[in-house]
């Protein structure tokens, strides 16, 4: 496509691609409506070897570097320890229990995660026309992550764009085009279908892992989907779009008239669920080895009423 | 079985039922080794209608009442809100983004959750003989939840003991026997197999939900598995044992010589993964309706190196 | 005074008592301007015996019971422990250090605390006319607690209303009148002066401590200042008003047209700093014993830019 | 003094300088016992101009850079906002209140702070011979910060070593000697007395503030007190030792046989309270201007039973 990305293009795309009202005025899950029970049953048939891939990055990776929004790396804290147990401090009375216990304090988007449809606004509205003010300091009154608690199941498809390009990783600033997505799918011999969970691999995360340096990963420059892919997403009616990067979208952005212009469209207008920071190395290598890029996908979010996102550990099963 | 539960019985059971070394001296996942890739592939065939049940209790339920160990109810906090967005405070410069963002601070075991094998000690040891002191204030150096990141997938079986007994909920203090488990399975026409994720329903949680009162749920009296079921678990070589209660085990405990005597055996000695506080109402009703008590089960934990447990939203798919 | 408390009375009081602009359009500390350096120097002369009273309630008291606003009791967590140290797990290499370390997670107002002038709004404004929207999810852009970092020092005066009334504790719902304040001061032989930190004792907190039960303390019924005391506060030009209760103000409130009607006036209009949940037992007994109800007062807040309050441990020194 | 710092020197100093038992076997506050009520009353006479200096660094300074122990920068979070208020979302029913509310999650030692005597161990003991295992994951059973709740008051003395040396900041690695301390005091015309709160200025913190870069401040190289000053501290019988650096002690350390060798002695053996990360710029400039380096000092800790430290905002009043 030939699009000059600017505010006008954003509003034009938002209007053209809008799914507001498509699943009724009360809908809160957007494109996840596109997955039918039959799709889930069909996707189950993709499980052949019983091989499971965990797509959640270890939460001990310190990927937050302060570039965006006050997010921190997960804080894992102990409420009871084995050293305490072994020192006997838990042995109170005869009927004691020696145990360890812990807690975690983490931003929803500090690592592998789902965005909910309450995450991004277009002006003062969110998906399906709900007012932005429905997301206050108590959480999201509409479009919260809890509505997807049993919806993150279906056919997963990996589009390994980096590998198709013959690169370990796409360079920062590279905007993946619709032709790239189609070219990758064609080369992989895979068809994109209505209701798919499409996962795009740029290789950027693996480059960070390899060098042990996350500088710039969270909020800095990155390869990613270009603005035009909003049209691709809508025309393919996929259920979700995921990537191995911090924000799916190419950075620097394609315009200086908006931060994350593609986000302005895909979440509020299309109502698509977005997955970010997916760990794809093992899955991608397996797909390259057996030539099979589709799999059963199951990535349950926290059942948190009002959540604007959720940490996840998605499972791809072949 | 005819067991007088006391310290001697605990140590005898721990010795007789021990799986230490069974999967090698380096093993850290215990009975999850019992699930083979073929089991996963076979379990996938149980997905017929494509109907998914989310077994995670809403994290807004205030189930912690301070009876145990300093756990708190989840604290959900906003890092960015729609009210801020609508008020224009995010519109800094031309290239802004209007968004909501959030974080959560929660004990691993404050709601629906997995225990890792680092959760319970027998004296100064944990599963497979690792010293308890390997779980210090930095987390678990062995038996952490991360080792199960891709292992919580397989055949799920619901044993609806309450329904079999004709009760909305088993009474507090009722200890489920091996005969109860076998009787329920027989009545349901289901076979328990090696590598199963067995989920026991007492109805207690639904009673709390119905009356809107969680007093005593977390750490108080409860129906649950009796001590002898440790033998049942071992003889059936199941992969995991789960329930709708706070701690799976009957309370008051069957002895005053230990707190949670069954825990002393099943986690450290058998090395079984335990799931607690599962929300079972919808799944149980569906199983009762169609008479099918087996399903594909997928309950990925957080990929948290060193975690002694993990909040989860398990998925049962039929 | 003869006031029917309702919305009209609130707006009338707010207009009559307003300090907006009194210390310039940029002022952010309100009545703390009333304390002069000479006042501090004079207050120092009240230190005679060198006896210090800590007015901070122990943070382990579980006073939050969920009645208000999602506050929790302080969560104290360890980052390093002596049991770890003794177990040798900190002895990494030769150059180690054996230590303990900890953290705390607490609402500003979960225990003894200052409100900042950003804490309460009158319609869409806060003290000195700043828009309420200046307090967003990132904190207070105006009237934050940091502006008081060196201002919480001066002459403290205890008004022991409960003791004057001959009661261990004023009953819940008792509204302290202007005559009560004047009567207590007169009986104590103390003069209230411009710039004083006035601390009112109801005895309610000590009743909770004595019975070991905080039910209703945080947000329930309580004795406290009646609406008319807003006029007393303004006419005496005191620097701060403090009490041993959760919210200083009588509850149930004197109207059903507002929650905390006195708050609507005193913080946004008068711009007075408010201290709550002060522990007064020891100080009050000492004052009763020696008949001296004035003292040097020093209660530094956290130096937190944007804070809407701060936990404190105020010091009264005689 | 001529000391080769090594393990032997540490144990020798710990034995020679020990205050264990000096204030009885039950003592938990160490050198704070050296401050008498008369000292407090005398210190009050140092308040002449009524000028107060807040020595707490703003908690928004991002000083933690991950070099030590898993500490994080303070996390300030809102529970209620003015944008919510202005949007009307708090106007529930007629009797509403428009307000802002917040919380903070911070390591005790992430910014300006007191160590408690439970912070550092010598082998398996802490101050006064209590076992290190008394500090478990629930906090400190002995030597907790709560015992100092009303003890952090007295005569403060600034030793501006950097200014005496004619430097903006002492260089990293510079170990302040006993002669430096005596030389500074002499040049300032000030006498160090029993029970003083001695505050040492290196200028390092101001250098970080000036360049807006905290790299290395928390746990990296720094100027600071050399090992021999442990002897100076004991011989002067001061109450507390404070500095503008992260850890008071010179880094790199003077030996490779211990991390923070001076800490091994001064906290566990001498039982001295230590204050770190004090903001001293304004106070130091004032002292240089009027030539008066003594003042009333009041730095109340949180009243947290079991705390191993406390964030503070110390007040120096001249």
What Cα–Cα distance (Å) separates residue D241 from each residue in B158, B261, C288, D247, D266? 63, 50, 36, 11, 10
Digit-coded pLDDT (tens) for D109-150? 999 999 999 999 999 999 999 999 999 999 999 999 999 999
Note the pTM of the prediction, 2 decimals.
Answer: 0.97
User: Which of A77, A104, A107, A121 best probes binding to C when mutated, by most C CB atoms within 10 angstroms?
Assistant: A77
Number of B–C residue contacts, CB under 8 Å: 28
- Would you place residue D194 in the very low, low, confident or very high pLDDT band (cuts 50, 70, 90)? very high
pLDDT at residue C68 greater than cutoff 80 = no
D21-60: burial string, b at 16+ Cβ within 10 Å, e else: eebeeebbbbbbbbbebebbbbbbebbbebbbbbbbbbbb
Q: Average pLDDT in the B112-131 region?
A: 98
Do B137 and D137 make contact, defined as CB atoms within 8 angstroms? yes
Determine the pLDDT at residue C160.
98
pLDDT at residue C67 greater than cutoff 70 = no
Angle, nearest 10°, between helix axes B229-236 and B7-17? 0
Using a CB-CB distance cutoff of 8 angstroms, which residues of chain B are in contact with residue A45? 44
Using a CB-CB distance cutoff of 8 angstroms, which residues of chain B are in contact with residue C136? 81, 84, 87, 89
Digit-coded pLDDT (tens) for C128-149? 999 999 999 999 999 999 999 9
Closest CA of chain B from D139, distance in Å: 12
**Residues of A numbered 85-144 whose beta carbons fall under 8 angstroms of chain D's beta carbons: which are they?**
87, 89, 105, 133, 136-137
Nearest CA in chain B to C71: B75
Determine the pLDDT at residue A45.
98
Nearest CA in chain D to C302: D313
Chains touching chain A through at least 3 C-beta pairs below 8 angstroms are B, C, D
pLDDT at residue B65 greater than cutoff 80 = no
Do D89 and B103 make contact, defined as CB atoms within 8 angstroms? no
Number of A–C residue contacts, CB under 8 Å: 29
Considering Cα of D2, then D4, then D8, then D13, what sign does the dihedral take?
positive
Do B82 and A126 make contact, defined as CB atoms within 8 angstroms? yes
Report the phi/psi class of residue A88: left, alpha or beta, with left for phi > 0 and alpha for psi in -120 to 50. Answer: left
Question: Is the CB of A41 inside 8 Å of chain B's CB atoms?
Answer: yes
Nearest CA in chain B to A148: B54
Do B60 and A132 make contact, defined as CB atoms within 8 angstroms? no
pLDDT at residue B66 greater than cutoff 70 = no
Of C67 and B11, which is predicted with more confidence? B11
Chains touching chain D through at least 3 C-beta pairs below 8 angstroms are A, B, C
Closest CA of chain A from C82, distance in Å: 9
Q: Average pLDDT in the D24-49 region?
A: 98
User: What average pLDDT does chain B have?
Assistant: 97
Of C75, C87, C137, the CB nearest to B133: C87
Do D137 and A66 make contact, defined as CB atoms within 8 angstroms? no
Radius of gyration of chain C (CA): 20
- Would you place residue D67 in the very low, low, confident or very high pLDDT band (cuts 50, 70, 90)? low
Determine the pLDDT at residue A124.
96
| Cα–Cα dist B42/D110, whole Å | 53
Closest CA of chain A from B55, distance in Å: 9
Q: Token pair for residue A105?
A: 């304090």
Closest CA of chain A from B1, distance in Å: 23
Q: Token pair for residue B238?
A: 């199941």
Of B57, B82, B140, the CB nearest to A136: B82
User: D76 by DSSP, 3-state: which?
Assistant: strand
Nearest CA in chain A to C104: A77
Do C81 and A81 make contact, defined as CB atoms within 8 angstroms? yes
Percent helix, strand, coil in chain D, to 5, is: 30, 20, 50
User: D249 by DSSP, 3-state: which?
Assistant: strand
Are residues D145 and D220 in contact, defined by beta-carbon separation less than 8 angstroms? Answer: no
User: What average pLDDT does chain C have?
Assistant: 97
Digit-coded pLDDT (tens) for A122-131? 999 999 999 9
Of B75, B84, B137, the CB nearest to C136: B84
Angle at D102 between CA D101 and CA D108, to 5 degrees: 150
pLDDT at residue D68 greater than cutoff 80 = no
Nearest CA in chain D to B79: D77
Do A85 and B124 make contact, defined as CB atoms within 8 angstroms? yes
Using a CB-CB distance cutoff of 8 angstroms, which residues of chain D are in contact with residue A215? none
Using a CB-CB distance cutoff of 8 angstroms, which residues of chain A are in contact with residue D80? 137
Beta-carbon contacts of A250 under 8 Å, excluding residues fewer than 6 positions away, are A173, A174, A175, A176, A222, A223, A224, A225, A226, A262
Do C87 and A83 make contact, defined as CB atoms within 8 angstroms? yes
φ, ψ for residue C294, nearest 5 deg: -120, 155
Are residues B184 and B161 in contact, defined by beta-carbon separation less than 8 angstroms? Answer: yes
Q: Average pLDDT in the D20-48 region?
A: 98
Question: Is the CB of C80 inside 8 Å of chain B's CB atoms?
Answer: yes
Of A37, A70, A258, the CB nearest to B50: A37
Digit-coded pLDDT (tens) for B201-239? 999 999 999 999 999 999 999 999 999 999 999 999 999
D230-240: burial string, b at 16+ Cβ within 10 Å, e else: bbbbbebbbbb
Closest CA of chain A from D72, distance in Å: 9
Closest CA of chain A from B178, distance in Å: 24
Chains touching chain C through at least 3 C-beta pairs below 8 angstroms are A, B, D
Question: Is the CB of C299 inside 8 Å of chain D's CB atoms?
Answer: yes
Using a CB-CB distance cutoff of 8 angstroms, which residues of chain B are in contact with residue D84? 81, 83
Of A77, A83, A137, the CB nearest to C137: A137
Are residues D192 and D236 in contact, defined by beta-carbon separation less than 8 angstroms? Answer: yes
Do B140 and A41 make contact, defined as CB atoms within 8 angstroms? no
Of D72, D133, D136, the CB nearest to A72: D72
Determine the pLDDT at residue A67.
65
What Cα–Cα distance (Å) separates residue B245 from each residue in B14, B152, B241? 23, 20, 12
Digit-coded pLDDT (tens) for B231-277? 999 999 999 999 999 999 999 999 999 999 999 999 999 999 999 99
B61-100: burial string, b at 16+ Cβ within 10 Å, e else: bebbbeebbbbbbbbbbbbbbbbbbbbebbeeeeebbbbb
Closest CA of chain C from B68, distance in Å: 14
Q: How many other C-beta atoms lie within 10 A of the C-beta of residue C258?
A: 23
Digit-coded pLDDT (tens) for C243-298? 999 999 999 999 999 999 999 999 999 999 999 999 999 999 999 999 999 999 99
| Cα–Cα dist D265/D6, whole Å | 12
Determine the pLDDT at residue C215.
92
Closest CA of chain D from B92, distance in Å: 16
Determine the pLDDT at residue D186.
98
pLDDT at residue B298 greater than cutoff 90 = yes
Using a CB-CB distance cutoff of 8 angstroms, which residues of chain D are in contact with residue C311? 302
| Cα–Cα dist C61/D103, whole Å | 17
Determine the pLDDT at residue D2.
87
pLDDT at residue C127 greater than cutoff 70 = yes
Q: Tell me the average confidence (pLDDT) per consecutive run of 10 residues in chain A, 318 residues long.
A: 94 98 98 98 98 98 81 96 96 94 97 98 98 98 98 98 98 98 98 98 98 94 98 98 98 96 98 97 98 98 98 98
Using a CB-CB distance cutoff of 8 angstroms, which residues of chain A are in contact with residue D99? none
Task: Tell me if the bond preceding C85 is cis, omega within 30° of 0.
Answer: no
Using a CB-CB distance cutoff of 8 angstroms, which residues of chain C are in contact with residue B87? 133, 136
| Cα–Cα dist A122/A17, whole Å | 13
């Amino acid at each position: 496509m030939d699009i000059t990305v600017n505010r006008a293009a954003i509003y034009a795309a938002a209007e053209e691609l809008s799914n507001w009202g498509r699943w009724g005025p009360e809908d809160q899950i957007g494109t996840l409506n596109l997955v039918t029970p039959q799709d889930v049953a069909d996707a189950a048939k993709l499980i052949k070897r019983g091989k499971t891939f965990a797509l959640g990055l270890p939460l001990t990776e310190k990927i937050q570097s302060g570039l965006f929004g006050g997010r921190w790396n997960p804080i894992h804290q102990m409420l009871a320890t084995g050293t305490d147990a072994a020192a006997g401090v838990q042995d109170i009375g005869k009927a004691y229990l020696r145990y360890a216990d812990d807690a975690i304090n983490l931003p929803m988007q500090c690592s592998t995660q789902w965005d909910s449809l309450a995450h991004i606004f277009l002006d003062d509205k969110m998906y399906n026309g709900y007012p932005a003010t429905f997301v206050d300091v108590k959480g999201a009154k509409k479009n919260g992550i809890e509505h997807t608690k049993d919806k993150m199941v279906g056919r997963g498809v990996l589009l390994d764009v980096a590998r198709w390009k013959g690169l370990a990783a796409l360079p920062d600033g590279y905007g993946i085009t619709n032709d790239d997505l189609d070219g990758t799918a064609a080369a992989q011999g895979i068809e994109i279908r209505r209701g798919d969970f499409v996962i795009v691999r740029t290789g950027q995360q693996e480059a960070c892992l390899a060098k042990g340096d996350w500088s710039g990963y969270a909020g800095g420059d990155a390869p990613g989907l270009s603005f035009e892919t909003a049209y691709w997403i809508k025309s393919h009616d996929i259920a979700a779009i995921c990537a191995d990067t911090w924000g799916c979208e190419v950075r620097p952005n394609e315009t200086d008239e908006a931060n994350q212009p593609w986000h302005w469209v895909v979440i509020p207008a299309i109502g698509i669920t977005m997955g970010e920071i997916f760990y794809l190395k093992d899955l991608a290598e397996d797909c390259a080895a057996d030539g099979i890029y589709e799999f059963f996908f199951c990535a349950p979010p926290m059942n948190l009423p009002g959540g604007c996102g959720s940490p996840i550990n998605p499972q791809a099963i072949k």
